[in-house]
């Protein structure tokens, strides 16, 4: 994977140079009014009646050593956020420590350290961009990870530098970016193996006087799987190349907002073409705000994701969502969201004596957010999550009830 190393070094060097410039620039400007440092503390209590996403009638005793299907999770969060502006430059940073505790299945207890940082840079009114860093950690859902006796925490980190150049002072914008992304699992998870990817993208956008725009973008990335050795028998590769080409558009008029994209995605592996995939991707999001307090959101998205085992190499996923949001008053908000998804698993490397896996998911979430004080938010939610699968033992139904308190100072 020599190409990955070169791409990693190029992306990393550019980001480091940009970050160095960002650290020097603030001292040349004057601090603006409105600089903010925020502290936050939150507690969430959640009851999940099917923690391991098991089919009805399955006793988890043989899988976990206990018969309880449900568990209560207590999550405590402590965070700090910072935002400051110097002349045309703005710096943002936040950190949050998350502590998850399980009442019954204590071996799933985990802590996460999530962080974000951004330099919103601008050299001239026509040349601007971003340098961003993002790190997040979370327990992998047992809807996908089926080693029930262990906890698998996934860590995602992303570093990106991008620029937007308004070439001639009119509507044309030239855009480019480089980035590095790393995803790692704390446990072996062959189907969704950890990887690191170095990528570069280039785009052209035309912005109309109304603020609406249309553009094209092409992205190319070189990746390698973390800790994986070449496996000829199971056709498990060590590296890959991702490409994406998209046409994107944004249109807003009156009470209606439309955002969409249409394009193609592909992945080519270094050694086993049987694992390759390519196909059409797209998205559409519609937001309608008939009044200042009511909004209706609807969306559709199609994309591909790698899922590597003997019976599949990837899946194509479609997600359709719809839901209203009602801002009752300044303190109370109600929202409902309905999702329908389909995962079509493809790319088997061995002949299948059965129908390829096909999952259909349906979920409904109702949320209430109440802010009795400026610094206090009380939130409650109920989620009904279901999956029907052509693969035996992969159906499930789960109901989740949660209540959270969050203080911000």
First to last CA, the chain: 48
Q: Is residue 318 predicted with pLDDT exceeding 50?
A: yes
The domain that holds 215 is classified in CATH as 2.40.160
* pLDDT interval class at 35 (50, 70, 90): low
CA separation for the pair 41, 76 (Å, rounded): 8
Which helix or strand (DSSP H or E) is residue 2 part of? helix 2-24
State if pTM tops 0.85.
yes
pLDDT of residue 354: 81
User: What are the DSSP calls for 227-289, one per residue?
Assistant: TPPPBTTTTB-SEEEEEEEEEEEEEEETTEEEEEEEEEEEEEESS-GGG-EEEEEEEEEEEE-
Residue, of 224 and 30, whose pLDDT is higher: 224
In the predicted model, what is the mean pLDDT of the chain? 91
Give me the mean pLDDT over the 15-21 stretch. 36
Print the domain residue range for 164. Answer: 2-408
Give me the mean pLDDT over the 140-158 stretch. 96
Give me the mean pLDDT over the 10-14 stretch. 39
CA separation for the pair 28, 201 (Å, rounded): 31
Q: pLDDT of 340-372, one tens digit each?
A: 999 999 999 988 788 899 999 999 999 999 999
CA separation for the pair 296, 323 (Å, rounded): 6
Q: How far is CA 246 from CA 34, 119, 264, 284, 303, in A?
A: 38, 26, 7, 13, 12
Q: pLDDT of 223-250, one tens digit each?
A: 999 989 999 999 999 999 999 999 999 9
11 Cβ contact list (under 8 Å, min separation 6): 159, 161, 178, 179, 180, 198, 199, 200
Q: Is residue 57 predicted with pLDDT exceeding 60?
A: yes
CA proximity to 198, closest of 395, 4, 21: 4
Q: Is residue 17 predicted with pLDDT exceeding 70?
A: no
Which helix or strand (DSSP H or E) is residue 105 part of? none
Give me the mean pLDDT over the 277-293 stretch. 97
pLDDT of residue 320: 98
Q: Is residue 5 predicted with pLDDT exceeding 70?
A: no
Q: pLDDT of 111-138, one tens digit each?
A: 999 999 999 999 999 999 999 999 999 9
Residue, of 346 and 31, whose pLDDT is higher: 346
Q: How far is CA 163 from CA 14, 17, 85, in A?
A: 12, 14, 19
> Are 53 and 142 contacting, i.e. CB atoms less than 8 angstroms apart?
yes
Q: Is residue 28 predicted with pLDDT exceeding 50?
A: no
The number of distinct structural domains making up the chain is 1
């Amino acid at each position: 994977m020599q190409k990955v190393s070169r791409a990693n070094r190029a992306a990393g060097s550019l980001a480091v140079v940009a970050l160095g410039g960002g650290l020097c620039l603030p001292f040349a400007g004057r601090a603006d009014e409105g600089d903010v440092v925020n502290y936050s503390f939150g507690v969430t209590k959640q009851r999940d009646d099917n923690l391991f996403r098991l089919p009805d009638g399955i006793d988890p005793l043989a899988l976990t050593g206990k018969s309880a299907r449900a568990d209560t999770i207590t999550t405590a969060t402590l965070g700090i956020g910072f935002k400051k502006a110097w002349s045309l430059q703005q710096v943002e940073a936040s950190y949050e420590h998350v502590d998850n505790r399980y009442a019954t299945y204590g071996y799933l207890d985990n802590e996460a350290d999530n962080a974000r940082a951004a330099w919103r840079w601008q050299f001239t009114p026509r040349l601007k961009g971003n340098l961003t860093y993002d790190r997040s950690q979370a327990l992998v859902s047992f809807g996908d990870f089926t080693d029930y006796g262990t906890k698998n925490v996934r860590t995602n980190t992303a570093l990106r530098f991008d620029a937007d150049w308004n070439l001639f002072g009119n509507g044309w914008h030239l855009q480019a970016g480089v980035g590095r992304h790393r995803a790692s699992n704390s446990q072996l998870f062959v189907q969704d193996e950890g990887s690191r990817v170095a990528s570069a993208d280039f785009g052209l956008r035309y912005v109309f006087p109304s603020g609406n725009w249309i553009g094209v973008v092409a992205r190319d990335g070189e990746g390698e799987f973390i800790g994986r050795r070449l496996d000829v028998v199971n056709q498990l590769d060590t590296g890959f190349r991702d490409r994406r080409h998209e046409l994107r558009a944004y249109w807003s008029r009156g009470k209606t907002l439309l955002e969409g994209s249409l394009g193609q995605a592909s992945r080519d592996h270094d050694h086993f073409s049987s694992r390759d995939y390519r196909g059409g991707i797209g998205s559409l999001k519609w937001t309608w705000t008939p009044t200042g307090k009511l909004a209706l959101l609807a969306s559709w998205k199609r994309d591909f994701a790698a899922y590597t085992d003997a019976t599949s190499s990837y899946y194509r996923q479609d997600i359709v969502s719809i839901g209203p949001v009602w801002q009752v008053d300044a303190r109370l908000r109600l929202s409902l969201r309905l999702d329908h998804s389909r995962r079509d698993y493809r790319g088997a490397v061995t002949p299948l004596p059965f129908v390829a896996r096909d999952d259909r998911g349906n979920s409904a979430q109702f949320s209430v957010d109440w802010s009795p004080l400026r610094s206090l938010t009380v939130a409650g939610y109920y989620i009904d999550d279901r999956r029907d699968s052509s693969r035996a033992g992969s159906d499930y139904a789960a109901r989740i009830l949660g209540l959270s308190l969050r203080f911000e100072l």
